[in-house]
Chains A and B, each alone.
Chain A
Amino acid sequence: MSSNPSTATGHEKYYVPESSSLAVRATIGLLLSVFGGGLMLNEMTYGSADDASYSGWVLTAGLVFFILTLTSWFRTVIKENIAGLNSGQVNQSYVLGMFWFIFSEVMFFAAFFGTLLYVRQLAGPWLAGEGEGGRMNDLLWPGFEFTWPPSITPQETVGGADAQVIANNGDFVSQEKSMAPADAHAWYAWLPMWNTIILLSSSATVHVAHTAILAGDRAKFNRWLGITVGLALIFLGLQAAEYYEAYVLYGLTLNSGIYGSTFFMLTGFHGFHVAMGMTMLLIQLVRSVKNEHFTASDHFGFEASSWYWHFVDVVWVFLFLFVYIL
């Protein structure tokens, strides 16, 4: 797993960094972003108290400050590594840190996949009168039938917000078409299939890049890493096209009931993670091209990014299965 297996269990003097302002700066950035974002959302939903709103500025300032801090944080870590401060044991800490970070991301997605399965297997059929919740259908949602993708929300079945006041967040309008292959007008125009091919290929190309750096072939490494970043960009472009298709052509929005909710939540967060992974890989590419970072035995920045990339890829495979196909 590690590029320095021989030192993974070594006990050299462990590098403990000097006191550092990075954490406090990152805190300021994070808190400003969150506070500004919260104000902005509340103004959007509940209306603004006064006309002159500063929430957007707080959010922007926070994000810029946060990103700058993270940049200088990573820069510091890279400098320490180049200065030879990171022993094998320190590197092993980074390896463990990245591994368990990815595990926490897996659990984050598990919450949304769990939601999808719960809705499809339990909540939906129960609303339609199955199981222990049978009476719910007669009493609350008479006439509602459950299919997946759902053709209509319970609220539309009983006749809009006026007819049904329980647990109502707003007016839900079902999509005209779903993103399932059956609703695509031709197989070759079904974007998720192309996106699957692209993302699976990108996992392969990033692996080729990895073998290249292991062999010390920088030109090949740069080439294949570049191809990976390009594939990531195409993926994101196609996903944007798919969202356009959903919103404009299919009437599938966040307001389309539970199908739209789960669809956009899962694909949206996945897309966000693709963008993050692409940024990580792009930074590694710039480091290699511009600064000639990474050697055959020392390239954890790249390796960690590639693990993240494989993780994003695996999430997509599950997404393709459970959101699009099944």
Chain B
Amino acid sequence: MGDHHHGPATGVTRWLFTTNHKDIGTMYLWFSFAMFLLGGFFAMVIRAELFQPGMQLVEPAFFNQMTTLHGLVMVFGAIMPSFVGLANWLIPMMIGAPDMALPRMNNWSFWILPPAFLMLASTLFMEGGAPAFGWTFYAPLSTTYAPPSVTFFIFAIHILGVSSIMGSINIIATVMNMRAPGMTYMKMPMFVWTWLITAFLLVAVMPVLAGAVTMMLMDIHFGTSFFSAAGGGDPVLFQHIFWFFGHPEVYIIILPAFGVVSQIIPAFSRKPLFGYASMVYATASIAFLSFVVWAHHMYTVGMPVAGELFFMYATMLIAVPTGVKVFNWISTMWRGSLSFETPMLFSIGFLVLFTLGGFTGLMLSIAPADFQYHDTYFVVAHFHYVMVAGAVFSMTAAVYYWLPKWCGRMYSESMGKIHFWISFIGFNITFFPQHFVGLAGMPRRIPDYALQFADFNMMSSIGAFIYGASQLLFLYNVIATIVSGERVSDEKVWDGAEGLEWTVPTPAPYHTFEEPPLVSKPAGTF
């Protein structure tokens, strides 16, 4: 079948027909950034409306569509695909494989994403408006009382699920089957480990989400009564199924972020990762526990006390492996030869703010206390600390860290640092006050609020605009780097960087490791 040593094809078909993991990774990354901006735009609409009490800019119904689409686009469109893009770029290079295990399926799992989101976004222009029931789409809001566009929402979720499952199968097959000789499981970089475990989680729970939306579809169009008590079903059943998916989903988002930080902190501490094996076991424990804690999202739904207690203790248990990770990162930095380039700044930002988000999570896990916090802005603050300062910060760190390897050019360090500080400050101005308004009783998902919340909400909105604007700076920095950044040719780029991806030329050639390298050193050693 001819010679396979070829560079990229030219024109648009390069991207449409590609089977190259680097091309596909690039497409995932750009797509997810586009979705990040779209979801961010929805967030700006929300914060603009909440700038002052009273109704200013949008109708309540449209406000609800914004909160719904903001959540869906950010979770399924921005964060998840961005880490899949990272996996595509890095996993083959980190384990010494020529490509992903199933390259054509890899291309397919990317290409069904953009049309699915086009379909989801098009619901905004449909009769009855876009889905307005929150990203958790609880029945019966999402069944009996849903707008007709819910049908397309359901199919969009189906397609996203198919994409995630195919992507995960690809990652599992790649990691299990394509490691270079000598690359044993316990020599794999932490990023590969976290993604392997994430992929298991995805294959296990995305089908359950597909089942949930399929039952919604049946209730809406075929008269079944899964989520209708009148027919003997139960709307609470929806919540159980949704959160059986939804809680592992949270770790699907954050585990790859853990992996990224576990690569970057050792590089800029110039020390191997502290407690590598315990990191692996902690990741696996978190993944296991994520299956038995889902009902902590539903404390106020009327569960038996025994259920509340079980889910409360199981949830608190997660703090143990998470704590292992946090202390390992700190120990890695301890007495290291630290330097604070942009990736390191974002990683430390991640470490501090994610830990804060973890602590508020612990507060929320306490069932009796949750009756006060439930569905307030305290919850909003909590999950933005782990989603934005956790997942998005680490993703940003990853882009700065590997961008020179990808394109052979160095980003502007000063602009990167400015981006970090504006993001860090803007983020905290946005979300820190939300803890207070939440504790004081401001409910989430409302377009108007009582007067006593006005000041903190104005702060929040100003912070959100600052944070949003800083992402444009990020975009500019990345484009400027690719177009006209200073060239780097050093294979390692960062003097403390370790791993196979730093042994290939810079910029990384179109095909790497067509002949597998021989690996002898353990992960992350000097």
Contacts and interface: CB of A to CB of B under 8 A. Distances in A.
B16 interface: yes
Nearest to B302: A132
B303 A41 contact: no
B521 interface: no
B203 A17 contact: no
A129 interface: no
B230 A172 contact: yes
A123 B237 contact: yes
A258 B231 contact: yes
B169 interface: yes
Contact of B19 (A17, A83, A146): A17
A20 B19 contact: yes
A92 interface: yes
Interface stretch (B111-119, B342-350, B407-415): B111-119
Contact of B169 (A100, A112, A141, A172): A100
B108 interface: yes
Interface stretch (A24-32, A188-196, A216-224, A317-325): A24-32
A248 B322 CA distance: 57
Given A20-B104, A110-B208, A11 B19 contact: no
A93 B13 contact: no
A155 B4 CA distance: 66
Given A17-B103, A118-B237, A265-B224, A166 B230 contact: yes
A101 interface: yes
B177 A111 contact: no
A37 B154 CA distance: 11
Contacts of A73: 104
Contacts of A277: none
B498 interface: no
B223 A255 contact: yes
B177 A16 contact: no
Interface in A9-37: 11, 13-14, 16-24, 26-27, 30-31, 34-35, 37
Contacts of B212: 111
A124 B205 CA distance: 26
A155 B514 CA distance: 65
A134 B186 CA distance: 53
Interface string A96-108: 1100110111011
Contacts of A122: 234
Contact of A104 (B103, B148, B203): B203
B144 A168 contact: yes
A227 interface: no
A18 B4 contact: yes
Contacts of A279: none
B165 A96 contact: no
B interface secondary structure, majority: helix
A200 interface: no
Given A19-B9, A31-B115, A108-B208, A101 B107 contact: no
B458 interface: no
B104 A154 contact: no
Interface stretch (A42-50, A207-215, A228-236, A303-311): A42-50
B218 interface: yes
B143 to A, nearest CB: 7
Contact of A257 (B19, B172, B180, B232): B232
B58 interface: no
B225 A96 contact: no
A123 B233 contact: yes
Contacts of B211: 108, 110-112, 115
A207 to B, nearest CB: 26
Interface of B: 1-2, 4, 9, 13-14, 16-20, 97-99, 101-105, 107-108, 111-112, 115-116, 119, 127, 140, 143-144, 148, 151-152, 154-155, 158-159, 162, 165, 168-170, 172-174, 176-178, 180-181, 203-208, 210-212, 214-215, 217-237, 240-241, 244, 302-305, 511, 514-516
Q: Which 3 A-B pairs have the closest CB atoms?
A: A111-B211, A258-B232, A23-B108
22 contacts: A16-B20, A17-B19, A18-B1, A18-B2, A19-B9, A23-B111, A24-B111, A30-B112, A31-B119, A35-B119, A42-B151, A100-B169, A104-B204, A104-B206, A132-B303, A146-B232, A168-B228, A169-B220, A169-B230, A172-B225, A259-B232, A265-B226
Given A27-B108, A127-B234, 9 more contacts: A13-B514, A24-B16, A34-B155, A96-B176, A110-B211, A115-B237, A126-B234, A133-B302, A169-B220
Interface of A: 11, 13-14, 16-24, 26-27, 30-31, 34-35, 37-38, 41-42, 44-46, 49, 73, 80, 83, 85, 89, 92-94, 96-97, 100-101, 103-105, 107-108, 110-112, 114-115, 118-119, 122-124, 126-127, 131-133, 140-141, 146, 150, 153-155, 161, 164, 166-170, 172, 253-255, 257-262, 264-265
